[in-house]
Structure 1
Amino acid sequence: MNTTALLGGLAIIGRTPWFRRLAPWLLASGLFTLGCLVRLPTAMQQQRGEHARSAELEAQHTAAVQQLAKLKALKAKVATAERHIQEALWYLDAGQGMSDLLERLSASAGSHGVLIEQLQVRDAEQQAGLQRVPLELQVTGPYMAVRVWLNEWFAQPAVFRSGDLAIAGVDGQPALVRLRLHVDTYQTKAPPPSAEFLARLPVRQLAAGPSADPFAPRLAPWRGNRLTGVPLKQVQMVGHLSRGDAHEALVVVAGTLYRLRTGDRVGRDNGVVVQVTPGQVEVHERLFMTGVWHPRTAFLSLQRRTGKEAPVQDENIEQMAADVTAAAPGGGSVDLPG
């Protein structure tokens, strides 16, 4: 088919009514298709860019959420650390000022019979969030009392850092020691901690005293009666033994019978038996108060009970309870015949 025939055919079609009605639509469709073919690559490229941008934004959002979670965890840790720091700062001085500390120190020393001879508060040294206040102490008292007082004082919630310490006997004062001590105390302005923290504080245990006093004077050897740690009011005289001019008292402590002779030690206040008679035991004690020793005389009177009397060789036994076990002077137990 040549060009002339084609053009002739198109001319015939163009003169038909239906073609005239469809021609605008065909032209619009052609132009739309042509425009799509021209703009489609650019639109598709823009769509791919928007998809990439959307994925990037989603990744940034996910990272921001993770960082926010980490930030919240760090804030919680910081809050916990700050609370621990505040509790530790409060623990340094246990919420008490210097005047309260010195008052408690003096009261504690007085309750144990320890005399504070010197107390100097040195210049405070400013540190991070606190003040270090050195104290110079010199106290005097029996070694046992000084040890118990010192243990009790350092068992307080407040933190004390001990420095130089020197202890020695006191000239002309047997059984007394003088303690010189340098202590660093700490003062803070921390607010009171929570009740939960205070409830977690460990219960303070009573300070145990030493078992021996290396500064005690060499007294007459005692005969193992085991009564030096018993309060005198718990010792009851229930009987008396005599052999010529020698006298012994029978005393009961916690259901056990002991013998006491002149020179034996008894009670907690350095008591020494100075006289034994059929009716009572005379005990001389020494109490350390207000910096000096004070003598005191105590008596154990015979408790009148229904008992038995029986000779033991050349000994006379008077007013002894019938249902107790006797302790021999050497510390062992013997059965007294009744």
Structure 2
Amino acid sequence: MNRLWHLDWQALAGGSGVVRAMVCLSLVLMVAGMGYLVRLRDPVQGHVESVRLQLQLQDELEERGARLVELGVEQQALEHARVLLQAARWRLAAGEGMSELLDQLALSGHEHGLVFERVEVKEAQQASVYRVQPLEIAVSGQYPALRLWLEQWLRQLRLLNVERLTLVLKDEGIGRVDAQLRLHAYHPGEELPVPASLADEPAQAILSKKTAFDPFRAWSPPREGGDLAHVPLARLEMVGSLSRAGWRQALLRSGGRLYRIAQGERLGLEGGVVVAIEFDRVEVHERFYIDGRWQARPRYLVLGTREQGEVRDETDERVERRAIDAGAADGAGRDVSG
């Protein structure tokens, strides 16, 4: 530094122009450097830090925007799950109470010809967000009717859960089966609006009223000509009879086909049993539940006509025998003896 101050500045200034320019440039750089160190270093560093912070905040903003999109999707999924949950809770009782359930029970049982001997509504049990209502039901009827009724009754909108089912054959002659059921009905514990998804509920297929298999009946080989146990008596016509060694069969016609029927076989839709066969008529006893007990109702197929006489019940002394009288008056009996 001492050497610098001892330079001959006049000699340098009187030198060439290049030297003078370099000297001026050096002085300017020195002044600029000193000015930077004194006045500009802190603002420049502050600007650099601001740019870095801006870039960091922009990255965080983009990340939060992506999270917001994900949150919107999750909120939509949550709302959809809430709607499904509310619809499922509504289906616990389908907007109905216990009185409506008992009305459906009575109507459906009457439709299938069943007899309810006992219906007991137990005390409701409170679960976390719903109530459980146990029911004890004792019902009797033929197995095909019981099976069809149970399948149809459990397919309604409200939830019904069968906890226990017991079937016992009580009357082998007519195939009467006693059923003991314990089932659970449910209620959400509050009134809920009908879900909009109910409009998309598919229509249920109509159940067939003919059940080919009955586990409570003894197996028997199929007879030639078919089975008349599922043909209404009004569609059967007696056209003759066959007799051999005191054993008689009736010849019945239905749908253009001929059938041979013996005593003890079943006819009609009401579990009718052939109890007697004469040369001009067939007597069939049907079983009906009247006045709190099972009673037999005789019906008749008369030769040459499709009309049937009947005895309404044991308390009715008037017997309708118009068809029998008509058959006797026509005298159109036919007896083929072997």
TM score, norm. by length of structure 2: 0.70
User: What one-letter code is carried by the residue in structure 1 that aligns with 2:50?
Assistant: E
Q: Corresponding residue for 2:17?
A: none
Q: Quick one: percent identity of the two aligned structures?
A: 30
Aligned pairs (5 A) from 1:61-210: 61-170=61-170, 175-188=175-188, 189=190, 191-201=192-202, 203-206=204-207, 209=211
Partner deviation per Cα, 1:265-322 (whole Å, 9 max, x = no partner): 2112122233445554332222235642232222334447xxxxxxxxx947xxxxxx
Q: Distance in 2 between matches of 1:102 and 1:145?
A: 19
Q: Corresponding residue for 2:214?
A: 212
Q: Distance in 2 between matches of 1:42 and 1:145?
A: 97
Following superposition, the deviation at residue 262 of structure 1 comes to 3.5
SS in 1 for 2:267: coil
Q: 1:289 to 1:222 in 2, by over 3 A?
A: farther
Q: Distance in 2 between matches of 1:301 and 1:95?
A: 53
TM score, norm. by length of structure 1: 0.70
SS in 1 for 2:229: coil
Q: Distance in 2 between matches of 1:193 and 1:5?
A: 107
Q: 1:112 to 1:5 in 2, by over 3 A?
A: closer
Following superposition, the deviation at residue 260 of structure 1 comes to 2.5
Q: 1:221 to 1:58 in 2, by over 3 A?
A: closer
Q: Distance in 1 between matches of 2:269 and 2:10?
A: 146
Q: 1:300 to 1:34 in 2, by over 3 A?
A: same
Are the aligned partners of 2:95 and 2:194 in contact in 1 as well (CA < 8 Å)? no
Q: 1:275 to 1:125 in 2, by over 3 A?
A: closer
Is residue 294 of structure 2 the alignment partner of residue 293 of structure 1? yes
User: What one-letter code is carried by the residue in structure 2 that aligns with 1:211?
Assistant: F
Q: 1:91 to 1:204 in 2, by over 3 A?
A: farther
User: What one-letter code is carried by the residue in structure 2 that aligns with 1:258?
Assistant: Y
Q: 1:315 to 1:140 in 2, by over 3 A?
A: closer
Are the aligned partners of 1:136 and 1:182 in contact in 2 as well (CA < 8 Å)? yes
164-173 vs 100-109, which deviates more? 164-173
User: What one-letter code is carried by the residue in structure 1 that aligns with 2:268?
Assistant: G
Partner deviation per Cα, 1:43-77 (whole Å, 9 max, x = no partner): 32122111111111111111111111111111111
Q: Distance in 1 between matches of 2:179 and 2:199?
A: 33
Q: Corresponding residue for 1:325?
A: none
Following superposition, the deviation at residue 86 of structure 1 comes to 1.1
Q: 1:79 to 1:230 in 2, by over 3 A?
A: same
Q: Distance in 2 between matches of 1:72 and 1:175?
A: 63
Unpaired runs of at least 5, structure 1? 8-29, 305-313, 317-338
Q: Corresponding residue for 1:330?
A: none
274-283 vs 40-49, which deviates more? 274-283
Q: 1:177 to 1:6 in 2, by over 3 A?
A: closer
Q: Corresponding residue for 2:252?
A: 251
Q: Distance in 2 between matches of 1:242 and 1:177?
A: 35
Q: 1:291 to 1:175 in 2, by over 3 A?
A: farther
Q: 1:261 to 1:79 in 2, by over 3 A?
A: same
Aligned pairs (5 A) from 1:16-27: none
Q: Distance in 2 between matches of 1:98 and 1:195?
A: 24
User: What one-letter code is carried by the residue in structure 2 that aligns with 1:44?
Assistant: V
Are the aligned partners of 2:170 and 2:178 in contact in 1 as well (CA < 8 Å)? yes
Q: Corresponding residue for 1:26?
A: none
Following superposition, the deviation at residue 172 of structure 1 comes to 11
SS in 2 for 1:148: helix
Are the aligned partners of 2:174 and 2:287 in contact in 1 as well (CA < 8 Å)? no
Are the aligned partners of 1:222 and 1:264 in contact in 2 as well (CA < 8 Å)? no
Q: Distance in 1 between matches of 2:192 and 2:295?
A: 46
164-173 vs 288-297, which deviates more? 164-173
Are the aligned partners of 2:165 and 2:180 in contact in 1 as well (CA < 8 Å)? yes
Following superposition, the deviation at residue 133 of structure 1 comes to 0.9
Q: 1:291 to 1:83 in 2, by over 3 A?
A: farther
Unpaired runs of at least 5, structure 2? 1-6, 14-29, 306-334
Q: Distance in 1 between matches of 2:221 and 2:292?
A: 27
Are the aligned partners of 1:98 and 1:187 in contact in 2 as well (CA < 8 Å)? no
Partner deviation per Cα, 1:144-199 (whole Å, 9 max, x = no partner): 33333222222222222222333334489964333222111111235244343342
72-81 vs 136-145, which deviates more? 136-145
SS in 1 for 2:92: helix
Partner deviation per Cα, 1:17-54 (whole Å, 9 max, x = no partner): xxxxxxxxxxxxx9999755633322321221111111
Give me the CA root mean square deviation: 3.9
